[in-house]
Amino acid sequence: MPHSEHHFIHRTNWLRAAVLGANDGIVSTTSLLAGVAAAGMNSNTLLITGIAATVAGALSMAAGEYVSVSTQSDIESADLARERQALRDHREAEQAELAEIYRGRGLAPALAGEVAQQLMAHNALEAHARDELGISHITTTNPLQAAMSSAMAFCAGSLLPLCSLYLAMLVDVRHPIFWLCTSSLGALAFLGWWSALRGGGQPVKSVVRIVLWGALAMGITALIGHSVNLTL
């Protein structure tokens, strides 16, 4: 029977964007609402603030992700162009460089030279992109896809504190911010468990990490809002 393994590295790009967007949506929106509430704002103002934060945050995430991924893509394209030119002008030196990389990874000199020669004959640019530059189909990303994924994930995360706040207003909860923060921390715990499940990580470690940082952000923001309210 052939040996088979199930890996998760191919999920890195979309999972990173989804977790980052959803986490940011939950934490930033909840923290903002907690800070504004601690400053003494009423429920209607809180809801309007939350909606504005959702729209602004989603657009900011999309723009930031698009710019950052585009910058990475530009760097990769420039490096590939330089490598392509080097292969045209100094093919033997590039083959020797590739063989040296394989020798550094533990291959015998003769075998490293043979491997480099065969890979250069098969696809020289692909071999150098992967083994010299660390660029592969897994690491390359699409800027527009990353931007849309982050924006949608942020909206999905931000909707939870908004819905929690609206529900608290409907049932007239005495302490809506406690309800809001508790439900958001529960959502963060679920997000940590889900991301660990999809990425093959450790659920407990992921949950503790994401909940701890989320609670810290909410607590600090609420404390600052309360301090500003007392000062003013």
Q: Return the domain boundaries, the chain.
A: 11-231
> Rounded to an integer, what distance in angstroms lies between the CA atom of residue 27 and that of residue 63?
19
**Exposure of 115 in the CB half-sphere (CA atoms within 13 A):** 18
pTM for the structure as a whole: 0.71
> Rounded to an integer, what distance in angstroms lies between the CA atom of residue 184 and that of residue 160?
7
pLDDT, tens digit, 9 for 90 and up, residues 105-143: 888 888 888 888 888 888 888 888 887 777 776 555 678
Nearest CA to 221 among 61, 41, 57, 36?
A: 36
**3-state secondary structure string, the chain?**
CCCCCCCCHHHHHHHHHHHHHHHHHHHHHHHHHHHHHHCCCCHHHHHHHHHHHHHHHHHHHHHHHHHHHHHHHHHHHHHHHHHHHHHHHCHHHHHHHHHHHHHHCCCCHHHHHHHHHHHHHHHHHHHHHHHCCCCCCCCCCCHHHHHHHHHHHHHHHHHHHHHHHHHHHHHCCCCHHHHHHHHHHHHHHHHHHHHHHHHCCCHHHHHHHHHHHHHHHHHHHHHHHHHHHHHC
Q: Average pLDDT of the chain?
A: 82
Query: What percent of the chain has a predicted confidence (pLDDT) above 90?
Result: 15
Residue 14 confidence (pLDDT)? 58
pLDDT, tens digit, 9 for 90 and up, residues 195-224: 787 777 788 998 999 999 999 998 898 888
Of the candidate ranges 29-38, 45-54, 98-107, 130-139, the one whose mean pLDDT is the lowest: 130-139
